[in-house]
Amino acid sequence: MVFNRDAMTRISTRKVLSIQSHVVHGYVGNKAATFPLQYQGWDVDALNTVQFSNHPGYGHFTGFRYDAGHLCEILEQGLAKSLEIQYDAVLMGYLPGVESLRKIGEAVGEMSARDPDLKWVLDPVLGDNGKLYVSGENVDAYKQILRHNKIHLVTPNQFEMETLTGVKIQDLESLKSSIEQFQKLYPRVNKIVVTSLELKNGYICACCDGGKIQYASVPRINAHFSGTGDLFSALLLNALVPPAGQTPPTLAQALLLVISLVDLILRRTLELSLSKDDVLPVTINDLKLIQCRDLLVGKHQNKELDAQIRLVDLN
């Protein structure tokens, strides 16, 4: 038997624990994050916080939530204690119950304290469009998690940023004030990306790294998609935590890359989802991630958008 020594060479594989919702059908939560990360070389351990038939955006769904005891037993007794798994990153998304949120936040916080190289990416899923999706107790729980833990990146949307800072975001000046307030309230958070900002200046995305605040105008697509935020956070993680031996990009560089890639995925999803009788705007419940796998490995470039988009300093 002949062995190929090159094939046997150890490949550096990044390992992530993704703690999010799960749907049997569709692509939100862990279903929106797992495949894109795996396709880009990540070994993904998915801890599902809920098990639903489909995204609630369909108007009907069945399923259940996992309780705090089950989630913590899997994480603390199974993954951390028994298997002693060392993760490169933790991606934390939708946790509907406040007890689960608090206990999982404590467990991941302990992991982060033990391993200074662990990159914790937190999407504080609270709500959108001025409405909470979860109990008001979850707001205080997130504030405690953000205040007391070393977090690499946090990715709130506009409503979540307003809720966590108490600053209403209406224009660029109030956006800057909100980010500055966030830094004062939660100084242990390293990087911030604020998504889905609808301001007088248009539709934008903002970031803050090392005190430098920047924003970029984002083109609007005349449709509503489910799972975009989950995909966005996963792709940001991939960009910011490259394989061993590669230099991580700046947050600004990673953000531009991810905005461009998500735009391509959404436009293809729209193209594949529309029928001849559809009239825009439309609601699309499922991203076409499998059909976009070539985009995930950079085989297409978003030349038109890449030429237009740029980051503007707010400091």
Number of domains in the chain: 1
How far apart are alpha carbons 30 and 35 in whole angstroms?
A: 9
Residue 4 within a domain? no
Q: How many CB atoms lie within 10 A of CB 281?
A: 11
Residue 122 within a domain? yes
What is the pLDDT at residue 300? 65
Residue 307 within a domain? yes
How far apart are alpha carbons 86 and 265 in whole angstroms?
A: 31
Question: Could you tell me the residue range of the domain that residue 120 belongs to?
Answer: 12-313
C-alpha 220: how far from chain center? 19
| Cβ pair 200, 185 in contact under 8 A | no
Q: What are phi and psi of 311, to 5 degrees?
A: -90, 135
Residue 1 within a domain? no
- Can you give the pTM of this predicted structure? 0.94
Pick from 243, 154, 143, 229: nearest CA to 190: 154
Structure tokens that stand for 105 in this block: 């936040």
Q: Work out whether the CA dihedral 82, 35, 206, 255 comes out positive or negative.
A: positive
**pLDDT per residue rounded down to tens, the chain (315 residues):** 343 444 434 567 999 999 999 999 999 999 999 999 999 999 999 999 999 999 988 999 999 999 999 999 999 999 998 999 999 999 999 999 999 999 999 999 999 999 999 999 999 999 998 999 999 999 999 999 999 999 999 999 999 999 999 999 999 999 999 999 999 999 999 999 999 999 987 899 999 999 999 999 998 899 999 999 999 999 999 999 999 899 999 999 999 999 999 999 999 999 999 998 899 999 999 999 999 999 998 766 777 677 678 899 998
Torsion over CA of 11, 32, 297 and 233, rounded to 10 degrees?
-80
| Cβ pair 205, 194 in contact under 8 A | yes
Cis peptide before 281 (omega within 30 of 0): yes
CA distances from 153 to 8, 57, 166 (A): 35, 27, 20
How far apart are alpha carbons 193 and 158 in whole angstroms?
A: 10
Q: Which amino acid is located at 202 in the chain?
A: G
Pairing of the two strands 212-217 and 223-225: unpaired
How deeply is 16 buried, as exposed, middle or buried, from its count of CB atoms within 10 A (0-12, 13-18, 19+)? buried
C-alpha 193: how far from chain center? 10
Residue 212 within a domain? yes
CATH, residue 189 = 3.40.1190.20
User: Residues of 178-195 as b/e, b for ≥16 C-beta within 10 angstroms?
Assistant: bbbebeeebeebbbbbbb
Residue 215 within a domain? yes
Residue 7 within a domain? no
Name every residue whose Cβ is closer than 8 Å to that of residue 48 and which is 6 or more positions away in sequence: 20, 21, 22, 29, 30, 66
- H or E element in which residue 179 lies: helix 172-185
Residue 82 within a domain? yes
CA distances from 235 to 88, 243, 261 (A): 15, 14, 9
How far apart are alpha carbons 28 and 20 in whole angstroms?
A: 9
Q: Is 48 helix (H, G, I), strand (E, B) or coil?
A: strand
Q: Is 51 helix (H, G, I), strand (E, B) or coil?
A: strand
